[in-house]
Structure 1
Amino acid sequence: MKFLIVGLGNIGNEYAHTRHNIGFDVVAAFVQKHGGIFRQDRLAFVADIKWKGRIFICICPTTYMNLSGKAFKYWIDKEKIPLENTFTILDDLSLPISKLRIRGSGSDGGHNGLRSIQESVGSGGYPKLRFGIGSNFSKGMQADFVLGKWTKQEDPIVKLKIDRSVEAIEIFATQGINAAMNTINNLEFE
């Protein structure tokens, strides 16, 4: 059983640990927990993890958010991973910071990284974990908000949600998408 775990974000120090890069942070936490090491490879930073009889190809695309689909498509084709065995982690403005949401398919919801993936694979039918970042910004300040760092008040919730997101990847790979949704979608983080 082989899985592609995809964290969405932007490369570069100015983007590190911003709200928009939470996908990178979750995948890095998963790789670290399982003793993996990233290498720079074609279109992405890549780590290979073996756990419970499964192989995880974990990628953080180096294409920047708006071209995430190029890396996604390259790695599912190279590794011959079916679309339903992919798991994409991204930030979501429409969810409050207290929530995580897993879906087996769905639209891009205005997220440029998802739009790029959908265009590359011709479908929205792939599993995603949406990491709620809230929408606590003034009109016209959306870009500054998503590219901003977490506040001190948000940090404890973010750390907890990263841990639960790592757990969600494990549940998804061992028990399936429905078990992951049932475990994660009703949680409320305070």
Structure 2
Amino acid sequence: MRLLLALGNPGAKYRDTRHNIGWWLADRLALRWGAEPFRPHGATVGATAWTTGSGRPGVEIHKPLTYMNRSGEALAALLAARPAAPRLDPAADILVLVDDVALPAGRFRVRKRGSPGGHNGLASISASLDSDDYGRLRLGVGRPPDDRIDLAAWVLSRMSRAEEEEALGAFPRAAEAVEYWLDHGVEAAMNRFNRPG
């Protein structure tokens, strides 16, 4: 079983914000693969979906409802609910879909490990796994144009129309990167899809 964990915040207030770009891609992947609708998975975990259609058996897409800063709690609950065997290997079987201010809108990078880099959602996941050794697809949302703009406020704001078009324009290739990760692993996906610079 492979697990895609899309980070974001629940509720209409956050739906269209930069911080939820991982959820946007998760929705696109579910549509692309003919997945079942997202449905609740326990009181603590929140909305999840199991993707089995369109040639993608053995893949689950999860959108935690624990809020960004507690994403690791959702992951821990998901893993605890799984059968003991076969054991899931985070380094090979988990890919986190997450926003990244270090990349401009329309860019993405596949990473096989790394520190959270100040991202509270990734920090929560790393704490839950007691490891930074898990894959992530970092989706660019750009930096604030002014250093005086609070970063937390920035990621909880909406993109401009031009930025959103750039971000959504990258989704077909980002979806291909996820599929390549599923078929060939994180190293191969990094080599094929990461642009220099």
Q: What TM-score, normalized by structure 1, do the two folds share?
A: 0.91
Does the aligned pair in 1 maintain the 2:47–2:64 contact within 8 Å? yes
> For the aligned residues, what is the CA RMSD?
1.7
Deviation per residue, 1:6-38 (Å, 9 max, x gap) = 100000101002110011111111111111111
Does the aligned pair in 2 maintain the 1:66–1:113 contact within 8 Å? yes
Instruction: Give the secondary-structure state (helix, strand or coil) at the position aligned to 2:162.
Output: coil
Instruction: Give the secondary-structure state (helix, strand or coil) at the position aligned to 1:183.
Output: helix
Post-superposition offset of 1:98: 4.1
Match of residue 45, structure 1, among 47, 58, 65: 47
Range 104-113 or range 141-150, more displaced: 141-150
1:1-190 aligned at under 5 Å gives the runs: 2-36=1-35, 37-42=37-42, 43-50=45-52, 51-52=54-55, 54-79=57-82, 80-83=87-90, 84-138=92-146, 139-186=148-195
Does the aligned pair in 2 maintain the 1:100–1:187 contact within 8 Å? no
Question: Would you tell me which structure has more strand in proportion to its own residues?
Answer: 1
- For 2:187 and 2:60, locate their aligned partners in 1 and report how far apart those are by CA, in whole Å: 21
Aligned length, in residue pairs: 187
Does the aligned pair in 1 maintain the 2:106–2:169 contact within 8 Å? no
Provide structure 1 residue ranges, at least 5 long, that are not aligned to the other structure.
none
Identity of matched residues, %: 33
Q: What TM-score, normalized by structure 2, do the two folds share?
A: 0.88
Does the aligned pair in 2 maintain the 1:27–1:166 contact within 8 Å? no
Q: 1:57 to 1:135 in 2, by over 3 A?
A: same
Provide structure 2 residue ranges, at least 5 long, that are not aligned to the other structure.
none
- For 1:72 and 1:57, locate their aligned partners in 2 and report how far apart those are by CA, in whole Å: 12
- For 1:104 and 1:9, locate their aligned partners in 2 and report how far apart those are by CA, in whole Å: 20
The one-letter code sitting in structure 1 at the alignment partner of 2:151 is Q
- For 1:29 and 1:81, locate their aligned partners in 2 and report how far apart those are by CA, in whole Å: 25
Deviation per residue, 1:142-162 (Å, 9 max, x gap) = 222211112111122111222
Range 91-100 or range 54-63, more displaced: 91-100
Post-superposition offset of 1:111: 0.2
Deviation per residue, 1:97-152 (Å, 9 max, x gap) = 24211111110010000000011110000000111111133214322221111211
Does the aligned pair in 2 maintain the 1:137–1:145 contact within 8 Å? no
- For 2:94 and 2:55, locate their aligned partners in 1 and report how far apart those are by CA, in whole Å: 17
Range 44-53 or range 5-14, more displaced: 44-53
Instruction: Give the secondary-structure state (helix, strand or coil) at the position aligned to 1:131.
Output: strand
Runs of 4+ aligned residues of structure 1 deviating over 4 Å after TM superposition are none
Post-superposition offset of 1:187: 7.3
- For 1:53 and 1:27, locate their aligned partners in 2 and report how far apart those are by CA, in whole Å: 14
Instruction: Give the secondary-structure state (helix, strand or coil) at the position aligned to 2:161.
Output: coil
Q: 1:53 to 1:111 in 2, by over 3 A?
A: closer
- For 2:103 and 2:62, locate their aligned partners in 1 and report how far apart those are by CA, in whole Å: 24
